[in-house]
Amino acid sequence: MVPADLLGVLALEEELFPDDPWTPDMFADEVAQPADSRLYLVAETVAADGGHAMAGYAGMMFVPGGVQADVLTIAVAESRWGRGIGSALLGALIQAARDRGCAEVFLEVREDNPRARGLYLRRGFQEIGVRRGYYQPSGVDAIVMRKDLRR
């Protein structure tokens, strides 16, 4: 992800998360972070006319010390659900964490998002806790999940 991708990312963010989207400043700040602490990816589709459309995006934070990484966001356009884009983005983040020597990856997922929870469970994450009222302003709980990369 580069600053030029932010318009497409923000449009998708508003579409998918209307109750609690990340703000333009949040995304801009994240994308501006050094490459050793953050990784943001985009997935695009190519149309027959050669044009590109935003299909999804994902981001990860690498905790100083290199032991742990946190998935910060993953989103896929609803019109592209079921095509493996989310799984591919997650796989790329997990591989980046492995490549950096991380031992584990954490994430939070909305309790009311069974589709995402299912993806994470299929990719080897385990539910380890709950953050009550984590997502604001909706007040939806977050399920905390962890994947051990040493296995």
Asked if 73 and 79 touch (Cβ cutoff 8 Å), the reply is no
Tell me which residue of 137, 80, 144, 78 sits closest to 111, measured CA to CA.
144
Residue-wise pLDDT for 100-138, tens only, equals 999 999 999 999 999 999 999 999 999 999 999 998 888
Rounded CA-CA distance 4/132 in Å is 35
Check: pTM over 0.85? Answer yes or no. yes
Say which CATH number the domain at 85 has: 3.40.630.30
Contacts of 36 (CB under 8 A, 6+ apart): 62
Range of the domain at 7: 3-148
**Beta strands at 38-46 and 104-110: parallel, antiparallel or unpaired:** unpaired
Contacts of 123 (CB under 8 A, 6+ apart): 87, 90, 91, 94, 147
Structurally, the chain folds into a number of domains equal to 1
pLDDT band at 47 (very low <50, low <70, confident <90, very high): confident
Rounded CA-CA distance 100/108 in Å is 21
Residue-wise pLDDT for 8-30, tens only, equals 999 999 999 888 889 999 999 99
Helices 85-99 & 114-122, crossing angle to 10 degrees?
50
